[in-house]
Amino acid sequence: MSDDWDIRTKLVHEGSRRSQYGEVSEAIFLTQGFVYPTAESAEARFEALGEDEFIYARYGNPTVRMFEDRMAAILGYEDAFGCASGMAAVNGALMALSKAGDRVVASRALFGSCLYVLENVLGRFGVEIVLVDGTDNAAWEAAITPETTLVFLESISNPTLEVIDLKHVCDLAHANGALVLVDDAMATPIFSYSKACGADLVIVSTTKHVDGQGRCLGGMIVGSRELIRGPIETYLKHTGGAMSPFHAWVQLKALETMDLRVRAQADGALAVAQALEGHPKVSRVSYPMLQSHPQHAVAMRQGESGGTVVAFEIAGGKEACFRFLNALKVFTISNNFADAKSIVTHPATTTHQRLPQDQKDILGISGGLVRLSVGLESQKDLIADLKAALELA
Ligand SMILES: *Cc1c(COP(=O)(O)O)cnc(C)c1O
């Protein structure tokens, strides 16, 4: 494996481990345990694990390890730990690194389950949680104090696609001795700029772009060897958030095509955003690569793409939205994103249904807001589908 390899080469080869059979395609080791040739070798392995040595799948597994090594390489970090889901990864990282009395500063535009872990789990154990408007640099400056231990944010928020000035936040956090954890679900592993901006840990819900075909849950915590094989692995191996070898294998093989898929989907998202902007039934389109996006300049400086999700508002609120959703023929109504199948979501009544109205208002999750996840279908068919359904909205 070579550090000089381009991402496309790493996605196909990095971290591969071959068994004595010399298989071409990465093997799936669907085993929870491992045998030892002698009692002495078992004792030695429990004392210290060598490279390519495993003792129990909750601690590590060869298929999961291939996936971890490949994910770490493509995101530019030393190591990674595979988890049962994106939320197992978020919860694992936050719990592993927090104790009573700590101060965690986070952007308020968070995925609902992440907000739950912060406020209802960490908060219950005496961790102070401070939420800020992630797009406001002055708010971060006021909130990140020397008492701050962790900073947590979504680089591009779900569902309204707010973009955070990540380098600014990382510099502030590091000047105050805090670690930065970035949830990179929306930015995608292909276009992630977390390493370039200085994030300490990246959390990826591999359920999204890595799988890309809506099959398996998975999550990955990526960072320095010291953090991953230190507090992160220690917490996760004892608390059971490990990834299934079968899911690791499905998603490891999916990495081979991820660059092709994500680039095609991101191209489609930009085309869809451009087609919707200015449409008489649409009051607002949110996509970071559009000049009208409030953080367009920051987004262009940080990233090569705005990702595969587009948010927009239909004039006419919930009723008009529902007519629009029900009229779509190519887009399917669901709540995942990053699938090869294009998906439409009405956040206010599904993914964000339980959010109090004042929070919805602050985050811009109105009755008219629609989230589109652009898949791999033809751009022509997708845009025609949207335009036809908008006629009926
Ligand atoms: C989907 C998602 C998660 C959770 O991932 P799962 O794999 O569904 O557990 C966390 N954060 C963000 C931003 C997400 O979109």
**For 332-387, what is each residue's pLDDT tens digit?**
999 999 999 999 999 999 988 888 899 899 989 999 999 999 999 999 999 999 99
- CA 41 to ligand 1 centroid distance, Å: 40
| Averaged pLDDT of the chain | 96
For ligand 1, whether the C-beta of 217 sits within 6 Å is yes
The confidence score (pLDDT) of residue 4 equals 87
For ligand 1, whether the C-beta of 219 sits within 6 Å is yes
C-alpha 311/C-alpha 353 separation (Å) is: 17
- CA 90 to ligand 1 centroid distance, Å: 8
CATH topology for 7-254 is: Aspartate Aminotransferase; domain 2 (3.40.640)
Give the pLDDT confidence of 163-212 residue by residue, as tens digits: 999 999 999 999 999 999 999 999 999 999 999 999 999 999 999 999 99
- CA 59 to ligand 1 centroid distance, Å: 23
Q: Examine domains 7-254 and 260-391 and report if their fold is the same.
A: no
The residues spanned by each domain of the chain are 7-254, 260-391
Q: Which residue has the tokens 């496309």?
A: 8
C-alpha 278/C-alpha 113 separation (Å) is: 34
Q: Ligand 1, from 113, 201, 334: best to mutate by most atoms within 8 Å of Cβ?
A: 113
Cβ burial of 12 (10 Å; 0-12, 13-18, 19+) is: middle
Tell me if the domain spanning 260-391 has CATH number 3.50.50.60: no
Question: Sign of the C-alpha dihedral, residues 90, 92, 97, 103?
Answer: positive
Give the pLDDT confidence of 227-246 residue by residue, as tens digits: 999 999 999 999 999 999 99
C-alpha 199/C-alpha 5 separation (Å) is: 22
- CA 87 to ligand 1 centroid distance, Å: 6
Question: Sign of the C-alpha dihedral, residues 277, 283, 289, 293?
Answer: positive
For ligand 1, whether the C-beta of 183 sits within 6 Å is yes
With a CB cutoff of 8 Å and minimum separation 6, the contacts of 265 are: 209, 308, 338, 374, 375, 376
The confidence score (pLDDT) of residue 18 equals 96
- Three-class DSSP category at 142: helix
How distant is the alpha carbon of residue 358 from its chain centre? 26
With a CB cutoff of 8 Å and minimum separation 6, the contacts of 38 are: none
For ligand 1, whether the C-beta of 132 sits within 6 Å is no
pTM, to two decimals: 0.97
Task: Give the containing element (helix H, strand E) for 49.
Answer: none
Q: Which of 285, 266, 300, 299 is nearest to 371 (CA)?
A: 285
Give the pLDDT confidence of 242-263 residue by residue, as tens digits: 999 999 999 999 999 999 999 9
C-alpha 388/C-alpha 393 separation (Å) is: 9
pLDDT higher than 80, residue 323: yes
Tokens of 83: 């988890």
Could you count the other beta carbons within 10 Å of the beta carbon of residue 41? Answer: 12
Question: Given the DSSP bridges, would you call strands 309-314 and 369-373 parallel, antiparallel or unpaired?
Answer: antiparallel
Banded pLDDT at 157 (limits 50, 70, 90): very high
Give the pLDDT confidence of 254-290 residue by residue, as tens digits: 999 999 999 999 999 999 999 999 999 999 999 999 9
C-alpha 149/C-alpha 73 separation (Å) is: 27
Tokens of 7: 């991402």
C-alpha 166/C-alpha 171 separation (Å) is: 9
- CA 134 to ligand 1 centroid distance, Å: 18
Could you count the other beta carbons within 10 Å of the beta carbon of residue 145? Answer: 12
For ligand 1, whether the C-beta of 86 sits within 6 Å is yes
